[in-house]
Amino acid sequence: MQTIKLNNGVEVPILGFGTYQITDPEQAEQSVIEAIKAGYRHIDTAQSYLNEEAVGKGIAKGLAETGVAREDLFVTTKVWVENTSYDKAKDSVQRSLDRLGLDYVDLLLLHQPYNDVYGAWRAMEELQEEGKVRAIGISNFAVDRAVDLAEFNKVTPQVNQIEINPFQQQTANIAALKEEGIAVEAWAPFAEGKNGIFQNEVLTEIGNKYGKSVAQVIVRWLVEQDVIVLTKSVNPDRMAQNMDVFDFSLTDEDKEKIATLNVGESQFFSHADPQMIKWMASRHMGV
């Protein structure tokens, strides 16, 4: 598996298995087991997904059934908004570790750029020093917020997980984050199926040329940008298919065609929308 080396030397498998919206405990557990069997060595969850316990059980069983060592699996979780402060972050991370059944996570992210992000970041720096987390980062932060956090703290974020897909390509932001030494990770690479992405003529035509699916074309497009990719499926065949992207390369012409699909805006919501910030602030989940 190809890896991306973070600014602190930690290496991340470039393909990850996302567990967002897999809320049924049995399904979440089994999907993680199947992902590990399929070859995934990077599992992504979050406090707000409300599935950390099931994901943890899936990790334990997946490792036991495959013989994969814990140190060969990269596990990510994220601190939710209600826990984004110095005092609450540490306690919430310990609860996450307990739910996951792990002594440490490989990557801990601030899930949203709201609340006391600077206090929470200092707590995360301490957790990293204590060995509870190997790498720390952010999610959904604009480039200026990421730089601000880096300049006024000891540790530059190792990762920024943001929405990237053919309709929201974020080319300039990817370049700017890399310039700051911050690795880029893509959530919703398939735009959750919006705008008929799996039937898109441009992506279908490119896929047909290589005998690949639209999903594989999108994953390959991101891999070639050195962007960490999170894909989600509860179907073992699709899991395997989403990993089968290392036997072809896109041409410049292919990439130029994909560039024409960019509309330059989120396919979900704006993180600058005041109403969305208020909604997240009110979403107390007890995690």
Q: CB under 8 Å to 91, separation ≥6 — which residues? A: 83
Q: Is 278 inside a domain boundary? A: yes
> Helices in the chain by DSSP H: which ranges?
25-38, 52-66, 86-100, 117-130, 143-151, 171-179, 201-210, 214-223, 236-243, 252-259, 274-282
Q: Is 287 inside a domain boundary? A: no
User: CB–CB of 117/81 below 8 Å?
Assistant: no
If DSSP codes are grouped into helix, strand and coil, which group holds residue 160?
strand
User: CB–CB of 263/269 below 8 Å?
Assistant: no
CA distance 224 to 249: 8
Q: Which domain holds residue 251?
A: 3-282
Domain of 22: which CATH number? 3.20.20.100
Catalytic residue status for 49: yes
Three-point CA angle 201, 202, 206, nearest 5°: 110
pLDDT of residue 284: 86
pLDDT of residue 153: 97
Q: CB under 8 Å to 188, separation ≥6 — which residues? A: 163, 164, 165, 267, 268
Query: Which residue in 49, 86, 104, 114 is the catalytic one?
Result: 49
Query: 126 burial class (0-12, 13-18, 19+ CB within 10 angstroms)?
Result: middle
pLDDT of residue 8: 98
pLDDT of residue 1: 87
pLDDT of residue 42: 98
Question: Position of tokens 């994901």?
Answer: 55
Count CB atoms within 10 A of the CB of residue 180: 15
Q: Which of 16, 90, 81, 19 is nearest to 52 (CA)?
A: 19
Q: pLDDT tens, position by position, for the chain (287 residues)?
A: 899 999 999 999 999 999 999 999 999 999 999 999 999 999 999 999 999 999 999 999 999 999 999 999 999 999 999 999 999 999 999 999 999 999 999 999 999 999 999 999 999 999 999 999 999 999 999 999 999 999 999 999 999 999 999 999 999 999 999 999 999 999 999 999 999 999 999 999 999 999 999 999 999 999 999 999 999 999 999 999 999 999 999 999 999 999 999 999 999 988 989 998 999 998 888 89
* Helix 86-100 and helix 117-130, axial crossing angle in degrees, nearest 10: 50
User: CB–CB of 205/242 below 8 Å?
Assistant: no
Question: Position of tokens 């990237």?
Answer: 164
pLDDT of residue 237: 94
What is the domain count for the chain? 1
- CA 267, 165, 167, 157 dihedral sign is positive
User: CB–CB of 203/217 below 8 Å?
Assistant: yes
* Helix 25-38 and helix 52-66, axial crossing angle in degrees, nearest 10: 40
